[in-house]
């Protein structure tokens, strides 16, 4: 497909922005809409794997990420007191020209991507969603929530876990469900000499630290518990301090320094499984809209960018949009399923309090498989 075509990207998260950049690069006209009038992202850190960094390099943002965030190699697995148990390698082929892993604050990644999207010629409209979608013909006719309409040769549903596009395409699909864990996140000063990702296993919770810049790191803590109402903001610091009780090493200092001003974000882990098809007509679901994962492999953002890259490659190679979307599914399904199922399995182990080596065995196996070319 060489001629200029018109695409709608629904959702301006990592998957949507990566799609807009990829589609513009291969000559498509792109409209991107996002429900949030402020196009915001919450202020947590994320961990990035080597394959995610490789995808970022292909997208053209690796150098900026490496300069402003953190990149490194390996994961130190420690006991509750911070004593090293083992090192998990973070493999990636040297030809990829990227580090084995990294960390970045979501707002920085959002800024890097959104500035590029705005410069790319993508038409961005905010505070808008899809009201109705007719994909019965060759293209798709969209009725937007403000009453306007548009005709597109391709619609990319990148509107996240609670995707409206998915509900319109597959109303019977399983809804997101609680996965039995809450994740607590905060940001702390990165001590001198703290150069790697860390896991603290063997205690009541899995806790992790990832550097996200030269002087900051973020902490996550996975709490196994029943679903419960949202905690009042004033209770977050004392509750996180309670959960961190008994943890030593750098976690002890983080616990001691928690205060009402600490930036703490807590949310339940939710996901669902969606068996193919992942597309109907010329409408393709990508990212968390179709294969959301719990964060044990830290690969959701990477899958989202890879989806965009593969979609772009297949649109260029295939004779028409449906053929490209067929090829997209063939290339993406097994890899996305690997991440989702391995993440769920590690989550099961965490909830059961399984020994550290059982958890890291799945991690090591999965990271090795994900280092393969996409």
Ligand X SMILES: Cc1cc2nc3c(=O)[nH]c(=O)nc-3n(C[C@H](O)[C@H](O)[C@H](O)COP(=O)(O)OP(=O)(O)OC[C@H]3O[C@@H](n4cnc5c(N)ncnc54)[C@H](O)[C@@H]3O)c2cc1C
What residues make contact with ligand X under the rule CB under 6 A?
A: 10-16, 33-36, 46-47, 52, 129, 158-161, 164, 183, 267, 287-289, 295, 298-302, 304
When the beta carbons of 248 and 331 are compared against ligand X, the nearer one is 331
Q: How far apart are the C-alpha atoms of 236 and 238, rounded to whole Å?
A: 6
Q: How far apart are the C-alpha atoms of 277 and 172, rounded to whole Å?
A: 13
Please state the closest distance from residue 223 (CB atom) to ligand X, in A: 12
When the beta carbons of 248 and 268 are compared against ligand X, the nearer one is 268
Please state the closest distance from residue 147 (CB atom) to ligand X, in A: 15
Ramachandran area for residue 328 (φ above 0: left; ψ -120 to 50: alpha; else beta) = alpha
Please state the closest distance from residue 3 (CB atom) to ligand X, in A: 27
Please state the closest distance from residue 92 (CB atom) to ligand X, in A: 15
Angle between helix 300-317 and 321-352 (nearest 10): 160
When the beta carbons of 1 and 124 are compared against ligand X, the nearer one is 124
Question: Using an 8 Å Cβ cutoff, are 272 and 293 in contact?
Answer: no
From the list 308, 328, 307, the residue with the least C-alpha distance to 317 is 328
> CA neighbours within 13 Å on the CB side: how many for 267?
12
When the beta carbons of 161 and 323 are compared against ligand X, the nearer one is 161
Q: How far apart are the C-alpha atoms of 146 and 11, rounded to whole Å?
A: 16
When the beta carbons of 36 and 326 are compared against ligand X, the nearer one is 36
Q: How far is CA 169 from CA 22, 70, 79, in A?
A: 24, 39, 46
Q: How far apart are the C-alpha atoms of 366 and 51, rounded to whole Å?
A: 11
Q: How far apart are the C-alpha atoms of 293 and 273, rounded to whole Å?
A: 9
3-state secondary structure of 226: coil
Please state the closest distance from residue 299 (CB atom) to ligand X, in A: 5
Please state the closest distance from residue 222 (CB atom) to ligand X, in A: 9
When the beta carbons of 33 and 77 are compared against ligand X, the nearer one is 33
When the beta carbons of 159 and 350 are compared against ligand X, the nearer one is 159
Please state the closest distance from residue 353 (CB atom) to ligand X, in A: 21
């Amino acid at each position: 497909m060489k001629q200029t075509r018109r695409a709608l990207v629904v959702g301006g998260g990592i998957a949507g922005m990566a799609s807009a950049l990829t589609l513009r690069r291969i000559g498509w006209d792109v409209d991107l809409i996002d429900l949030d009038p402020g196009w915001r992202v919450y202020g947590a850190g994320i961990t990035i794997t080597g394959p995610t960094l490789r995808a970022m390099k292909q997208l053209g943002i690796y150098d900026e990420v490496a300069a402003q965030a953190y990149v490194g190699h390996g994961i130190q697995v420690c006991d509750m007191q911070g004593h090293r148990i083992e090192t998990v390698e973070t493999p990636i082929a040297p030809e990829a020209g990227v580090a084995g892993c990294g960390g970045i604050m979501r707002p920085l990644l959002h800024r890097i991507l959104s500035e590029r999207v705005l410069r790319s010629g993508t038409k961005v409209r905010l505070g808008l969603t899809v009201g109705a979608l007719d994909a019965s013909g060759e293209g798709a006719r969209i009725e937007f929530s403000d009453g306007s309409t548009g005709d597109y040769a391709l619609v990319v549903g990148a509107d996240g876990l609670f995707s409206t596009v998915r509900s319109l395409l597959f109303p019977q699909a399983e809804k997101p469900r609680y996965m039995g864990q809450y994740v607590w996140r905060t940001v702390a000063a990165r001590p001198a000499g703290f150069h790697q990702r860390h896991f603290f296993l063997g205690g009541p919770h899995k806790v992790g630290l990832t550097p996200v810049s030269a002087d900051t790191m973020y902490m996550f803590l996975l709490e196994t518990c029943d679903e419960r109402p949202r905690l009042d903001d004033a209770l977050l610091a004392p509750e996180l301090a309670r959960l961190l009780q008994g943890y030593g090493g750098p976690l002890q200092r983080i616990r001691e320094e928690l205060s009402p001003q600490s930036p703490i974000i807590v949310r339940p882990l939710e996901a669902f499984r969606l068996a193919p098809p992942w597309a109907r007509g010329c409408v393709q679901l990508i990212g968390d809209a179709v294969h959301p994962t719990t964060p044990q492999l830290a690969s959701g953002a990477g899958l989202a960018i890879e989806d965009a890259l593969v979609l772009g490659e297949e649109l260029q190679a295939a004779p028409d949009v449906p053929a490209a979307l067929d090829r997209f599914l063939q290339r993406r399904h097994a890899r996305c399923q690997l991440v989702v199922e391995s993440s769920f399995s590690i989550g099961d182990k965490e909830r059961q309090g399984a020994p550290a080596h059982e958890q890291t065995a799945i991690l090591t196996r999965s990271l090795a498989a994900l280092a393969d070319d996409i």
